[in-house]
Amino acid sequence: MDVHELHEGRDSDLAAAARAELVRVIEASGAWDSDPVWREVFEAVPRHLFVPYYYAGAVTGRQRLWGESPDRLTRERWLRGAYADAPLATRVRDGELVSSSSQPSLMAAMLAELGVEDGHDVLEIGAGTGYNAALLAHRLGDEHVTTVDLDPEITESARRHLAAAGHHPVVVTGDGARGVPERGPFDRIIATCTLTSVPRAWLAQCRPGARILAPFATGLVALTVRDAEHAEGRFLHTSAYFVPLRGASTPEPEIPHLGAVPARTREHELFRFLLALTQGSLDPQEAYALWEREDRPVRERYGITVSGDREWAWLDEPTGPYGWPLPTT
């Protein structure tokens, strides 16, 4: 069975029903409350075209599900999974995840927070399966969307998936940290990979007032670009876990046993966020003392400023008492 041409009858009916259910789940999450136009976009763009196969299960012992399986029950499991509100592992090398299709409700929240308007030019860093680029292209038009990825296998498959869905945005094979200057200037940049610093090349390719939305330290930061040397913004409330930019491995900081911070709670997650954000400027004990002293701050109290050759993360205010230098890219 060609996943781009689902059989008439049961398979196509199942795809339509599964997509409708996914839209209901995303709507219930409140992801697009600020921009309900995205509902129609998610209704229109079929996710299964972008995940002809994916891996189910843990990192070890993953099971590969694919839409061309001769077994009907396996196809149905693949199709239902394609429309689950869950991330899907799409490329695994040597036991390591290198590419995935993000959780749809998180994608919807990020797209709504991006704040696109008709006529905006958008650069996506991290092409992945092409699904996010298709959503943007449906909303804005192919000519306004550029997506870039370092891996030629990823960009080639993204092009195929996009074409199958009837979209032809510009797909570039290259280093996302360098942006795509020949396609700029951009009104919006959205990254689907985790940063450790904000690439200066992005700022230089943005129009004044542009918005950059990117995963950073298990959170999402929304920056407003003033010019090629300056950008600033705060973190959103939501958590976000993505593969690192350019596939680099960023180990999670080790946290010693802290009895007052139960494992796997929201507060424990917020403490890990602080450790990841400061990138070694604070050891765990120093970070914990600060965290307790400042009433266990939520993500929205943190932000990032880029100014000239300096970049730093901060708590509450860019010029306040708590600031931590970040590497420059």
> Which residue type sits at 259?
G
Q: Are strands 170-173 and 96-101 parallel, antiparallel or unpaired?
A: unpaired
Contact between 255 and 309 (Cβ < 8 Å): no
Per the CB < 8 A criterion, the answer to whether 14 and 76 are in contact is: yes
State the Cα torsion 16-18-22-27 to the nearest 10°: 60
Burial of 169 (0-12, 13-18, 19+ CB in 10 A): buried
For residue 49, the tally of other CB atoms under 10 A from its CB is: 24
Active-site hit among 29, 99, 100, 101: 99
Mapped onto helix, strand or coil, the DSSP state of residue 222 is strand
Question: Is residue 221 within 8 Å of 304, Cβ to Cβ?
Answer: yes
Task: Examine the residue annotation and report whether 34 is marked as an active-site residue of this protein.
Answer: no
Q: What 3-state class would DSSP assign to 258?
A: coil
User: Concatenated DSSP letters for 145-167?
Assistant: EEEEES-HHHHHHHHHHHHHTT-
Collect all residues with Cβ–Cβ distance below 8 Å to 254 and sequence separation of at least 6. 284
CA distance 59 to 50: 21
Residue 306 buriedness (CB in 10 A; 0-12 / 13-18 / 19+) = buried
User: Which residues are catalytically annotated?
Assistant: 99
